[in-house]
Amino acid sequence: MKDVFLSQYNTRLIHILWMSLISMKNCGAQVLEKTFEEWLRYKEECLKKMASDPYSSGLFCNRTFDMYACWPDGSPGSIVNVSCPSYLPWFEKVKHGLASRRCGPDGQWVMLNGTEPWRDLSQCEMEAVAEEEGAHRLMVSFQVLYTVGYSLSLLALILALLILTLFRKLRCTRNYIHANLFASFGLRAISVIVKDVLVEKLWGRQVFQVSDWEVLLSNKAAIGCRVAQVLMQYCILANHYWFLVEAVYLYKLLIGAVFSEKNYYTLYLYLGWGTPVAFVVPWMAAKYLKENVECWALNENMNYWWIIRIPILLASMINLLIFMQILKVILAKLRANQKGYADYKLRLAKATLTLIPLFGIHEVVFIFATDEQTTGVLRYVKVFFTLFLNSFQGFLVAVLYCFANKEVKSEMKKKWQLWKLDHPALCCSQ
Protein backbone atom coordinates (compact mmCIF):
# COMPACT_ATOMS: atom_id res chain seq x y z
CA MET A 1 0.00 0.00 0.00
CA LYS A 2 2.83 2.37 0.86
CA ASP A 3 4.36 1.93 -2.61
CA VAL A 4 1.06 2.83 -4.23
CA PHE A 5 1.06 6.25 -2.54
CA LEU A 6 4.49 6.93 -3.97
CA SER A 7 3.23 6.46 -7.49
CA GLN A 8 2.74 9.25 -9.99
CA TYR A 9 -0.96 9.48 -9.16
CA ASN A 10 -0.65 10.31 -5.46
CA THR A 11 -0.98 14.08 -5.88
CA ARG A 12 -4.65 13.81 -6.82
CA LEU A 13 -5.52 11.87 -3.68
CA ILE A 14 -3.52 14.27 -1.51
CA HIS A 15 -5.44 17.16 -3.05
CA ILE A 16 -8.77 15.49 -2.29
CA LEU A 17 -7.78 14.72 1.29
CA TRP A 18 -6.48 18.24 1.76
CA MET A 19 -9.74 19.74 0.51
CA SER A 20 -11.65 17.47 2.88
CA LEU A 21 -9.40 18.78 5.63
CA ILE A 22 -10.39 22.36 4.73
CA SER A 23 -14.02 21.29 4.85
CA MET A 24 -13.52 19.64 8.22
CA LYS A 25 -11.68 22.54 9.83
CA ASN A 26 -14.08 25.21 8.72
CA CYS A 27 -17.50 23.75 8.06
CA GLY A 28 -17.63 20.77 10.41
CA ALA A 29 -19.48 18.83 7.68
CA GLN A 30 -16.81 16.31 6.76
CA VAL A 31 -14.09 14.66 8.73
CA LEU A 32 -10.73 13.83 7.22
CA GLU A 33 -10.78 10.37 8.75
CA LYS A 34 -14.15 9.61 7.13
CA THR A 35 -12.90 10.78 3.72
CA PHE A 36 -9.82 8.58 3.99
CA GLU A 37 -11.90 5.56 5.05
CA GLU A 38 -14.39 6.18 2.22
CA TRP A 39 -11.49 6.32 -0.23
CA LEU A 40 -10.14 2.98 1.02
CA ARG A 41 -13.60 1.43 0.69
CA TYR A 42 -14.00 2.84 -2.82
CA LYS A 43 -10.60 1.44 -3.79
CA GLU A 44 -11.41 -2.04 -2.46
CA GLU A 45 -14.74 -2.12 -4.29
CA CYS A 46 -13.01 -1.02 -7.49
CA LEU A 47 -10.37 -3.76 -7.25
CA LYS A 48 -13.08 -6.40 -6.65
CA LYS A 49 -15.10 -5.12 -9.59
CA MET A 50 -12.06 -5.17 -11.89
CA ALA A 51 -11.29 -8.76 -10.85
CA SER A 52 -14.86 -10.01 -11.38
CA ASP A 53 -15.79 -8.29 -14.70
CA PRO A 54 -14.95 -10.22 -17.90
CA TYR A 55 -12.08 -8.77 -19.92
CA SER A 56 -12.67 -7.15 -23.32
CA SER A 57 -11.38 -8.88 -26.44
CA GLY A 58 -8.89 -7.43 -28.91
CA LEU A 59 -7.17 -4.08 -28.45
CA PHE A 60 -8.36 -2.00 -25.49
CA CYS A 61 -7.14 0.27 -22.70
CA ASN A 62 -6.74 -1.73 -19.49
CA ARG A 63 -9.12 -1.15 -16.59
CA THR A 64 -7.39 0.68 -13.75
CA PHE A 65 -7.72 2.47 -10.46
CA ASP A 66 -5.57 5.61 -10.71
CA MET A 67 -5.94 6.74 -7.09
CA TYR A 68 -8.89 8.93 -8.06
CA ALA A 69 -11.54 6.94 -9.92
CA CYS A 70 -12.29 3.40 -11.07
CA TRP A 71 -11.95 3.15 -14.85
CA PRO A 72 -13.32 0.24 -16.95
CA ASP A 73 -11.78 -1.11 -20.14
CA GLY A 74 -11.80 1.51 -22.88
CA SER A 75 -12.25 1.15 -26.63
CA PRO A 76 -9.39 2.60 -28.74
CA GLY A 77 -10.01 6.19 -29.82
CA SER A 78 -12.89 6.74 -27.34
CA ILE A 79 -13.52 8.86 -24.27
CA VAL A 80 -14.41 6.85 -21.16
CA ASN A 81 -16.78 8.46 -18.67
CA VAL A 82 -17.39 7.41 -15.06
CA SER A 83 -19.43 8.95 -12.25
CA CYS A 84 -17.68 11.24 -9.81
CA PRO A 85 -16.17 9.17 -6.96
CA SER A 86 -18.50 8.73 -3.99
CA TYR A 87 -15.77 9.41 -1.39
CA LEU A 88 -15.47 13.08 -2.36
CA PRO A 89 -16.44 15.31 0.60
CA TRP A 90 -18.59 17.38 -1.78
CA PHE A 91 -20.11 14.35 -3.57
CA GLU A 92 -23.72 15.51 -3.01
CA LYS A 93 -22.97 18.61 -5.08
CA VAL A 94 -21.42 16.70 -7.99
CA LYS A 95 -23.17 13.30 -7.84
CA HIS A 96 -24.56 13.79 -11.36
CA GLY A 97 -21.19 14.83 -12.77
CA LEU A 98 -18.77 12.73 -14.82
CA ALA A 99 -15.01 12.25 -14.89
CA SER A 100 -13.40 11.45 -18.26
CA ARG A 101 -10.28 9.78 -19.65
CA ARG A 102 -9.25 9.25 -23.25
CA CYS A 103 -8.23 5.89 -24.67
CA GLY A 104 -5.71 6.27 -27.52
CA PRO A 105 -5.92 4.40 -30.85
CA ASP A 106 -2.98 2.22 -29.71
CA GLY A 107 -4.95 0.84 -26.75
CA GLN A 108 -3.08 2.99 -24.21
CA TRP A 109 -4.52 5.69 -21.98
CA VAL A 110 -3.59 9.13 -23.30
CA MET A 111 -0.90 10.77 -21.18
CA LEU A 112 0.12 14.39 -20.64
CA ASN A 113 3.84 15.04 -21.06
CA GLY A 114 4.30 11.27 -21.00
CA THR A 115 3.96 11.17 -17.19
CA GLU A 116 0.42 11.97 -16.04
CA PRO A 117 -2.86 10.67 -17.43
CA TRP A 118 -5.17 13.02 -19.33
CA ARG A 119 -8.32 13.48 -17.30
CA ASP A 120 -11.27 15.86 -17.36
CA LEU A 121 -12.40 16.29 -13.73
CA SER A 122 -14.09 19.68 -14.09
CA GLN A 123 -17.58 18.34 -13.34
CA CYS A 124 -16.37 16.67 -10.15
CA GLU A 125 -14.24 19.37 -8.64
CA MET A 126 -14.05 22.90 -9.95
CA GLU A 127 -17.16 24.53 -8.47
CA ALA A 128 -17.14 22.49 -5.27
CA VAL A 129 -13.44 23.05 -4.64
CA ALA A 130 -13.80 26.77 -5.35
CA GLU A 131 -16.62 26.97 -2.81
CA GLU A 132 -14.57 25.13 -0.17
CA GLU A 133 -11.54 27.34 -0.83
CA GLY A 134 -13.75 30.44 -0.50
CA ALA A 135 -15.00 29.18 2.87
CA HIS A 136 -11.41 28.50 3.86
CA ARG A 137 -10.32 32.06 3.08
CA LEU A 138 -13.25 33.47 5.06
CA MET A 139 -12.44 31.30 8.07
CA VAL A 140 -8.77 32.31 7.89
CA SER A 141 -9.94 35.94 8.13
CA PHE A 142 -12.04 35.03 11.18
CA GLN A 143 -9.03 33.30 12.72
CA VAL A 144 -6.92 36.44 12.28
CA LEU A 145 -9.71 38.46 13.92
CA TYR A 146 -10.02 36.32 17.04
CA THR A 147 -6.25 35.81 17.33
CA VAL A 148 -5.83 39.59 17.49
CA GLY A 149 -8.70 39.78 19.99
CA TYR A 150 -7.34 37.08 22.30
CA SER A 151 -3.79 38.46 22.10
CA LEU A 152 -4.95 41.98 22.97
CA SER A 153 -7.13 40.60 25.77
CA LEU A 154 -4.26 38.52 27.15
CA LEU A 155 -1.90 41.51 27.31
CA ALA A 156 -4.55 43.68 28.97
CA LEU A 157 -5.46 40.95 31.48
CA ILE A 158 -1.84 40.30 32.46
CA LEU A 159 -1.31 44.02 33.06
CA ALA A 160 -4.57 44.26 35.05
CA LEU A 161 -3.60 41.26 37.19
CA LEU A 162 -0.23 42.82 37.95
CA ILE A 163 -1.87 46.09 39.00
CA LEU A 164 -4.39 44.41 41.32
CA THR A 165 -1.81 42.15 42.95
CA LEU A 166 1.16 44.54 43.27
CA PHE A 167 -0.64 47.52 44.79
CA ARG A 168 -1.43 46.68 48.41
CA LYS A 169 -4.23 49.21 48.82
CA LEU A 170 -6.13 47.47 46.03
CA ARG A 171 -6.15 44.13 47.81
CA CYS A 172 -9.70 43.39 48.92
CA THR A 173 -12.37 40.76 48.31
CA ARG A 174 -13.88 42.75 45.45
CA ASN A 175 -10.57 42.98 43.59
CA TYR A 176 -9.69 39.38 44.41
CA ILE A 177 -12.86 38.39 42.56
CA HIS A 178 -11.86 40.65 39.66
CA ALA A 179 -8.40 39.03 39.62
CA ASN A 180 -9.91 35.53 39.40
CA LEU A 181 -12.14 36.65 36.54
CA PHE A 182 -9.08 38.09 34.78
CA ALA A 183 -7.20 34.81 35.34
CA SER A 184 -10.04 32.76 33.81
CA PHE A 185 -10.07 34.99 30.73
CA GLY A 186 -6.29 34.88 30.46
CA LEU A 187 -6.22 31.08 30.64
CA ARG A 188 -8.95 30.93 28.04
CA ALA A 189 -6.97 33.15 25.67
CA ILE A 190 -3.83 31.05 26.20
CA SER A 191 -5.71 27.78 25.62
CA VAL A 192 -7.23 29.06 22.36
CA ILE A 193 -3.88 30.30 21.03
CA VAL A 194 -2.10 27.06 22.05
CA LYS A 195 -4.88 24.94 20.54
CA ASP A 196 -4.58 26.79 17.22
CA VAL A 197 -0.81 26.27 17.19
CA LEU A 198 -1.20 22.54 17.92
CA VAL A 199 -3.94 22.12 15.32
CA GLU A 200 -1.83 23.92 12.73
CA LYS A 201 1.13 21.72 13.61
CA LEU A 202 -1.04 18.61 13.40
CA TRP A 203 -2.82 19.39 10.13
CA GLY A 204 -0.26 21.65 8.48
CA ARG A 205 2.36 19.00 7.79
CA GLN A 206 3.06 17.65 4.33
CA VAL A 207 1.79 14.09 3.88
CA PHE A 208 2.57 11.89 0.93
CA GLN A 209 2.46 8.31 2.21
CA VAL A 210 -0.21 6.15 3.80
CA SER A 211 1.92 5.90 6.95
CA ASP A 212 1.81 9.71 7.21
CA TRP A 213 -1.97 9.70 7.04
CA GLU A 214 -2.18 6.90 9.59
CA VAL A 215 -0.06 8.95 12.00
CA LEU A 216 -2.13 12.05 11.25
CA LEU A 217 -5.36 10.22 12.03
CA SER A 218 -4.06 8.37 15.09
CA ASN A 219 -5.23 9.25 18.60
CA LYS A 220 -1.66 9.94 19.74
CA ALA A 221 -1.23 12.74 17.21
CA ALA A 222 -4.26 14.61 18.61
CA ILE A 223 -3.50 14.34 22.34
CA GLY A 224 -1.99 17.82 22.59
CA CYS A 225 -4.87 19.64 20.92
CA ARG A 226 -7.38 17.58 22.96
CA VAL A 227 -5.74 18.73 26.19
CA ALA A 228 -5.93 22.33 24.93
CA GLN A 229 -9.57 21.76 23.95
CA VAL A 230 -10.43 20.50 27.45
CA LEU A 231 -8.64 23.46 29.04
CA MET A 232 -10.49 25.85 26.73
CA GLN A 233 -13.89 24.36 27.64
CA TYR A 234 -12.98 24.56 31.34
CA CYS A 235 -11.97 28.22 31.01
CA ILE A 236 -15.15 29.09 29.09
CA LEU A 237 -17.19 27.67 31.96
CA ALA A 238 -14.95 29.39 34.52
CA ASN A 239 -15.52 32.73 32.70
CA HIS A 240 -19.26 32.41 33.09
CA TYR A 241 -19.18 31.24 36.70
CA TRP A 242 -16.69 33.87 37.82
CA PHE A 243 -18.90 36.45 36.22
CA LEU A 244 -21.79 34.88 38.13
CA VAL A 245 -19.69 35.39 41.27
CA GLU A 246 -19.26 39.06 40.26
CA ALA A 247 -23.02 39.44 39.93
CA VAL A 248 -23.78 37.65 43.22
CA TYR A 249 -21.15 39.70 45.10
CA LEU A 250 -22.49 42.97 43.71
CA TYR A 251 -26.05 42.00 44.55
CA LYS A 252 -25.09 41.24 48.16
CA LEU A 253 -23.14 44.48 48.32
CA LEU A 254 -26.04 46.58 47.05
CA ILE A 255 -28.72 45.10 49.30
CA GLY A 256 -26.43 45.73 52.28
CA ALA A 257 -26.29 42.17 53.54
CA VAL A 258 -23.99 41.64 56.53
CA PHE A 259 -21.70 38.69 55.99
CA SER A 260 -18.14 37.48 56.49
CA GLU A 261 -16.22 38.21 53.29
CA LYS A 262 -13.56 35.59 54.03
CA ASN A 263 -16.06 32.77 54.39
CA TYR A 264 -17.92 33.81 51.27
CA TYR A 265 -14.72 34.25 49.29
CA THR A 266 -13.94 30.56 49.87
CA LEU A 267 -17.39 29.70 48.51
CA TYR A 268 -16.75 32.00 45.56
CA LEU A 269 -13.56 30.07 44.79
CA TYR A 270 -15.49 26.79 44.78
CA LEU A 271 -18.22 28.27 42.57
CA GLY A 272 -15.83 29.90 40.10
CA TRP A 273 -13.15 27.22 39.75
CA GLY A 274 -14.91 24.11 41.09
CA THR A 275 -18.26 24.17 39.28
CA PRO A 276 -16.71 23.87 35.78
CA VAL A 277 -14.94 20.66 36.84
CA ALA A 278 -18.31 19.03 37.59
CA PHE A 279 -19.29 19.43 33.92
CA VAL A 280 -15.99 19.25 32.05
CA VAL A 281 -15.04 15.85 33.53
CA PRO A 282 -18.26 14.10 32.34
CA TRP A 283 -17.94 15.79 28.94
CA MET A 284 -14.32 14.66 28.66
CA ALA A 285 -15.31 11.08 29.61
CA ALA A 286 -18.12 11.08 27.02
CA LYS A 287 -15.78 12.34 24.30
CA TYR A 288 -13.08 9.81 25.16
CA LEU A 289 -15.47 6.86 25.28
CA LYS A 290 -17.91 7.78 22.49
CA GLU A 291 -16.39 10.41 20.18
CA ASN A 292 -12.64 9.99 20.47
CA VAL A 293 -11.98 11.66 17.10
CA GLU A 294 -9.46 14.35 16.17
CA CYS A 295 -9.39 17.30 18.61
CA TRP A 296 -12.86 16.73 20.13
CA ALA A 297 -14.08 19.88 18.35
CA LEU A 298 -16.89 18.22 16.36
CA ASN A 299 -20.25 17.29 17.86
CA GLU A 300 -21.71 14.20 16.23
CA ASN A 301 -23.92 13.42 19.23
CA MET A 302 -25.45 16.67 20.50
CA ASN A 303 -26.25 15.11 23.89
CA TYR A 304 -22.56 15.33 24.80
CA TRP A 305 -22.46 18.94 23.62
CA TRP A 306 -25.27 19.84 26.05
CA ILE A 307 -23.13 18.67 28.99
CA ILE A 308 -21.07 21.82 28.40
CA ARG A 309 -23.74 24.17 27.07
CA ILE A 310 -26.48 23.67 29.72
CA PRO A 311 -24.35 25.05 32.61
CA ILE A 312 -23.32 27.99 30.39
CA LEU A 313 -26.94 28.72 29.54
CA LEU A 314 -27.88 28.36 33.22
CA ALA A 315 -25.19 30.82 34.34
CA SER A 316 -26.24 33.28 31.61
CA MET A 317 -29.88 33.11 32.62
CA ILE A 318 -29.06 33.62 36.33
CA ASN A 319 -26.85 36.58 35.41
CA LEU A 320 -29.69 38.17 33.47
CA LEU A 321 -32.07 37.69 36.42
CA ILE A 322 -29.53 39.25 38.79
CA PHE A 323 -29.05 42.05 36.23
CA MET A 324 -32.73 42.95 36.53
CA GLN A 325 -32.67 42.76 40.34
CA ILE A 326 -29.55 44.96 40.57
CA LEU A 327 -31.14 47.49 38.25
CA LYS A 328 -34.24 47.58 40.44
CA VAL A 329 -32.18 48.08 43.62
CA ILE A 330 -30.09 50.88 42.08
CA LEU A 331 -33.15 52.75 40.82
CA ALA A 332 -34.83 52.43 44.22
CA LYS A 333 -31.77 53.75 46.08
CA LEU A 334 -31.29 56.62 43.66
CA ARG A 335 -34.96 57.61 43.96
CA ALA A 336 -34.55 57.60 47.74
CA ASN A 337 -31.54 59.93 47.23
CA GLN A 338 -29.38 58.04 49.70
CA LYS A 339 -26.31 60.17 50.32
CA GLY A 340 -24.62 57.33 52.18
CA TYR A 341 -24.72 55.17 49.09
CA ALA A 342 -21.03 54.42 48.42
CA ASP A 343 -19.60 55.78 45.18
CA TYR A 344 -17.57 52.63 44.57
CA LYS A 345 -20.78 50.58 44.70
CA LEU A 346 -22.26 52.66 41.89
CA ARG A 347 -19.09 52.32 39.83
CA LEU A 348 -18.99 48.57 40.35
CA ALA A 349 -22.67 48.35 39.47
CA LYS A 350 -22.09 50.36 36.28
CA ALA A 351 -19.28 48.04 35.14
CA THR A 352 -21.23 44.90 35.99
CA LEU A 353 -24.44 46.13 34.36
CA THR A 354 -22.44 46.84 31.21
CA LEU A 355 -21.01 43.32 31.07
CA ILE A 356 -23.97 41.16 32.14
CA PRO A 357 -26.07 41.72 28.98
CA LEU A 358 -22.96 41.24 26.83
CA PHE A 359 -22.26 37.91 28.50
CA GLY A 360 -25.84 36.72 28.63
CA ILE A 361 -27.59 37.84 25.48
CA HIS A 362 -25.28 36.42 22.81
CA GLU A 363 -25.09 33.09 24.64
CA VAL A 364 -28.88 32.84 24.85
CA VAL A 365 -29.42 33.96 21.24
CA PHE A 366 -26.93 31.46 19.80
CA ILE A 367 -27.43 28.62 22.28
CA PHE A 368 -29.34 26.50 19.75
CA ALA A 369 -27.47 27.73 16.67
CA THR A 370 -24.52 25.32 16.71
CA ASP A 371 -21.88 25.00 14.00
CA GLU A 372 -23.40 21.63 13.07
CA GLN A 373 -26.94 23.00 12.78
CA THR A 374 -26.39 26.24 10.85
CA THR A 375 -25.40 26.69 7.23
CA GLY A 376 -24.74 29.43 4.74
CA VAL A 377 -24.86 33.11 5.69
CA LEU A 378 -26.49 32.43 9.08
CA ARG A 379 -23.57 30.26 10.10
CA TYR A 380 -20.97 32.84 9.12
CA VAL A 381 -22.87 35.63 10.91
CA LYS A 382 -23.06 33.45 14.03
CA VAL A 383 -19.38 32.52 13.85
CA PHE A 384 -18.30 36.15 13.34
CA PHE A 385 -20.24 37.57 16.29
CA THR A 386 -19.33 34.67 18.58
CA LEU A 387 -15.61 34.87 17.79
CA PHE A 388 -15.53 38.67 17.95
CA LEU A 389 -17.34 38.92 21.30
CA ASN A 390 -15.51 36.00 22.90
CA SER A 391 -12.06 37.17 21.89
CA PHE A 392 -12.46 40.83 22.94
CA GLN A 393 -14.41 40.18 26.16
CA GLY A 394 -11.21 39.82 28.20
CA PHE A 395 -10.01 43.23 27.02
CA LEU A 396 -13.35 44.84 27.88
CA VAL A 397 -13.39 43.21 31.35
CA ALA A 398 -9.86 44.48 32.07
CA VAL A 399 -10.81 48.02 31.00
CA LEU A 400 -14.05 48.24 32.99
CA TYR A 401 -12.85 46.53 36.17
CA CYS A 402 -9.28 47.86 36.24
CA PHE A 403 -8.06 50.54 33.83
CA ALA A 404 -11.24 52.65 34.05
CA ASN A 405 -11.59 52.07 37.80
CA LYS A 406 -11.34 55.30 39.81
CA GLU A 407 -9.51 53.63 42.71
CA VAL A 408 -6.95 52.05 40.42
CA LYS A 409 -6.27 55.31 38.59
CA SER A 410 -5.95 57.18 41.87
CA GLU A 411 -3.54 54.61 43.31
CA MET A 412 -1.41 54.58 40.16
CA LYS A 413 -1.29 58.38 40.18
CA LYS A 414 -0.04 58.32 43.79
CA LYS A 415 2.62 55.75 42.94
CA TRP A 416 3.75 57.85 40.00
CA GLN A 417 4.05 60.96 42.17
CA LEU A 418 6.04 59.03 44.79
CA TRP A 419 8.33 57.64 42.12
CA LYS A 420 9.03 61.15 40.79
CA LEU A 421 9.87 62.33 44.33
CA ASP A 422 12.23 59.38 44.80
CA HIS A 423 13.96 60.03 41.44
CA PRO A 424 14.23 63.83 41.13
CA ALA A 425 17.33 63.67 38.97
CA LEU A 426 15.59 61.58 36.32
CA CYS A 427 12.54 63.81 36.35
CA CYS A 428 14.56 67.01 36.11
CA SER A 429 16.68 65.67 33.26
CA GLN A 430 13.52 65.19 31.22
- Looking at per-residue pLDDT, the higher value among 181 and 264 belongs to 181
- Measured CA to CA, the distance from residue 330 to residue 283 in angstroms comes to 39
Architecture of domain 2-127: Irregular (4.10)
Same fold, 2-127 and 142-416: no
Instruction: Count Cβ atoms below 10 Å from residue 183 Cβ, excluding itself.
Output: 18
pLDDT band at 22 (very low <50, low <70, confident <90, very high): very low
The fraction of the chain above a pLDDT of 70, given in percent, is 67
Q: Is the pLDDT of residue 394 over 70?
A: yes
pLDDT of amino acid 219? 53
| pTM strictly above 0.95 | no
pLDDT-wise least confident of 24-28, 123-127, 154-158, 299-303 = 24-28
Domain ranges for the chain:
2-127, 142-416
pLDDT of amino acid 220? 55
Length of the chain: 430
Q: What is the mean pLDDT of residues 292-308?
A: 77
User: Looking at domain 142-416, what is its CATH homologous superfamily?
Assistant: Rhodopsin 7-helix transmembrane proteins (1.20.1070.10)
Q: Is the pLDDT of residue 255 over 80?
A: no
Best CA proximity match to 394, nearest among 267, 243, 251: 243
pLDDT of amino acid 9? 42
